[in-house]
Structure 1
Amino acid sequence: MTGRALFFQRMFHFWRYQWKVFQTVIDWTVALYIVLPAAAFAVYQYAEWLNGRGLLNGAAGVLGWGWLYVFSVLLLCTGFIHTFLLEADHVFLVHTKYLMKKLKRYALLYSMFLSLIKWGVLAVLLFPLWRQYGDCTFSAYFGIFCCLSGFHAAILAVHRQRKIRRQTFGNQAAGWLKAAVLLAGACFMIRFAAEWYWLWPAGCILFICSALLTWKEAESLSAFEEEVLEENRRKLSFTASVLMLSHDVQLPNVKKKGRSKPFLYPGSKHIFTKRSAYTAWKELFFKVLIRNGGYLRQLYLLTAAFTALILVLPLLLKPAALILFTLVSRYAASLLFDRITDKPVLSGIKKDSDDYFRARNSVLTFIQIIGSGWCLIAAVFSALYM
């Protein structure tokens, strides 16, 4: 078997697994009553948008191009460099390491190609809006997306280095700092570099350098276990996003054997000095929350989505979005609290006591205040400076 044949086989199995998950979630009732009407509405609105009418056209006239910057930053944080490695490769391909290297190289080209396709499709879809409301030249418009694709490739390379290296505070902080610098550079180039001849070279240089750096790292197999772990997480990401909406079911954590204690473990050891049934429920919730990345990710995505919405909305609609986030965040926190406390190990403990409901309300109020405070700060800054 050649490396190319192995790559296509792994890629086929990956997408077949995602398709089976999609078929499990989207049955004929969901497709008939939700998916098909939503798709028809989206196509109709896009056709109206091309003719200068519709909801999207009105929103573009009100918001302008400010929402494009926020959406681009959010899109820059997505994506993944596949390796398509399996844990069994360490046993069955130990004498044919060149196959694993070939597999990783083809997977790298595949990931970069997906990134280019994503930004190209976005550029084509937004072209009618730019033609009506844009104030830059045709070359500058496509130069913006060329620059964004280059920064996206660089961020993907940085995140890959951060994930396969040792999970120390210095390595993680350095990785996040590099990603923040790249995001700031992307925002600066898009916002202030109005001339197209600055955008095309910057995007091409970043893309080529990022691809060459990742290509060189594909020759190394020193971080095999970390790469397998990240590939398993990527394979189960769609399943996790579906199960995140369920109250009773959750995806098991993909953990590495011999994993060290979480970074926040010492801080969560003694949360409350005074012990009681009231503080015990709160301590249980916060300890599980700060040690489980999936739960934190749910709150983070919810807060990030409403923060972006508040930043781009007009001034009169910001209070409504803030009130909506206050209600939604409390509901999401209540689902998390019930999921954490509804465990088999706690089945013998009564949950109809006053201490349980007091702790539940206190936790929900705390999360609600923290999230609402953050969104309020975002609303104030966007009203003053945007």
Structure 2
Amino acid sequence: MAWPIFWHRFKDEWMQKWKVVRSVIDWTIALYLVIPFSIMVPFFYRDWWNETESYWATGIPIWILLSILGIMTLGGNIRTYVLEADLLFLIEKKERFVPMKRLGFMVTMGQSLMSLVLPGALALPIFLNIYNERPFTLAVIFILLFSLKWSVLLIKKYIAGKWKKGIYILLMLAAFVLITTGRDSPLLAAMASLILFIILVVYFFKGVKGTADFQNEVEIEQSERNQYVNLVYSLSSQIEKEKGGNRGRPFILFRNSRRIFKERTAENGILELSLKAFLRNGIYLRTYIQMISITSAGILFLPLLLKWLLFGGILIFMTFWVQTIFKKLTSNRFFEVAPFDKEAEYAAANRFGKWLGTPVLIWTGTITICSTIWSVYF
């Protein structure tokens, strides 16, 4: 019987995730954050329904909303609940191995539907109050959104290579946005439903029997089981998440390591080393870009007052974040061999903040001003 094996692994995974949640949310966080937030959510959602125009401008094209919905469905993987040890025994027992993977498929179906609840609940007032969409249109969009979700899951499972996966996923997302322009067609809804049904049936009866991608399934399961642990690890400021290994020539920035400043002083030297180290560090650079991108999106879609609050907030946060990054960079053991005086460090820190903070100020400030003008006059 496959059920006892599946149930044991399913329960063990969620027990592990629950332990992680309990380790993060203690009684103080639950009392002062989780419980008040849970009480306020219904009131916020009611206001979201009654005052939708205050949160979503009427001039925003509908394809932007559809794109956001599509992006929110790109996560997840097809679950199989296989372990590396199954290669020794269970993989040969088809009468147990295949039904267990089918149970994992059913769990994935349920999780896929549940993952659409929050985006759907948030988008529903916008569709009805801003764009005046009909219930049938919303049903078609939901079917297409579910089809997009499973298309992405299948791409992640069967397409090799990160770049190739990314290209296919972007193409599917673009196709979803384009196809939804004809979302009022009953024929479109019927075709999408039929194609999705055929794909799911074929995978349920044929796809789960394959073992060629067993190692990939094991890696996916390990990633899913440790999802919460990895999230806590990535958000922890106490753990340095540096990648090891030998460094070759940089792919894009400073491939020949030329000088940035002609004048060779201690201040310029510290600043140049810090800038190059920052731009070559994938984690720091990715975080920097993500903060700017998320802030820009928030400024575009939030009400007028919140736009300026967010603009001021990102400037304050960026100031402290850049200072923290500079301290980490200058605490490298290299500077124990090549020490520098504190005055040069202080001057370099100020200039380092200007180099990284000025683009944020210009970019987010421009977006804030333009979106404010759009909100007031259009």
TM-score of Structure 1 vs Structure 2, range by shorter chain? 0.7 to 0.9
Indicate if the aligned counterparts of 2:144 and 2:192 stay in contact, CA closer than 8 A: yes
Q: CA deviation at 1:144?
A: 1.1
The 5 Å alignment of 1:115-154 reads 115-120=112-117, 122-123=119-120, 127=124, 130-154=127-151
Which amino acid in 2 is paired with 1:68? L
Indicate if the aligned counterparts of 1:151 and 1:207 stay in contact, CA closer than 8 A: no
Distance 2:361 2:195 in 1: 37
Q: TM-score scaled by structure 2?
A: 0.75
Distance 2:195 2:240 in 1: 39
Match of 1:109 among 106, 109, 115: 106
Q: CA deviation at 1:150?
A: 0.9
CA offsets per residue over residues 192-235 of structure 1, 9 Å max, x none? 22414155235424533553575544433333333323332333
Q: Tell me the equivalent position of 1:17.
A: 16
Which amino acid in 1 is paired with 2:152? I
Does residue 84 of the first structure (1) align with residue 69 of the second (2)? no
Q: CA RMSD in A?
A: 4.3
Indicate if the aligned counterparts of 1:146 and 1:204 stay in contact, CA closer than 8 A: yes
Structure 1's 252 and 366: CA in aligned 2 closer, same or farther, altered over 3 A? Answer: closer
SS at match of 2:297: helix
Distance 2:84 2:329 in 1: 30
Match of 1:59 among 55, 77, 83: 55
CA offsets per residue over residues 327-386 of structure 1, 9 Å max, x none? 4445445545555666789888868745655665566555545666766787799888x9
SS at match of 2:65: helix
CA offsets per residue over residues 64-102 of structure 1, 9 Å max, x none? 785733530331222222232333333453543664444
Indicate if the aligned counterparts of 1:154 and 1:206 stay in contact, CA closer than 8 A: no
Distance 1:362 1:103 in 2: 58
Q: CA deviation at 1:148?
A: 0.8
Distance 2:340 2:94 in 1: 55
Which amino acid in 1 is paired with 2:87? H
Indicate if the aligned counterparts of 1:310 and 1:321 stay in contact, CA closer than 8 A: yes
Which amino acid in 1 is paired with 2:2? G
Does residue 75 of the first structure (1) align with residue 75 of the second (2)? no
Indicate if the aligned counterparts of 1:148 and 1:203 stay in contact, CA closer than 8 A: no
Match of 1:234 among 220, 224, 227: 224
Q: Tell me the equivalent position of 1:46.
A: 45
Q: Tell me the equivalent position of 2:257.
A: 272
Indicate if the aligned counterparts of 2:55 and 2:303 stay in contact, CA closer than 8 A: no
Q: CA deviation at 1:177?
A: 1.8
Which amino acid in 2 is paired with 1:219? K
Indicate if the aligned counterparts of 2:91 and 2:97 stay in contact, CA closer than 8 A: no
Q: TM-score scaled by structure 1?
A: 0.73
Match of 1:302 among 275, 286, 291: 291
Q: Tell me the equivalent position of 1:168.
A: none
Indicate if the aligned counterparts of 2:82 and 2:218 stay in contact, CA closer than 8 A: yes
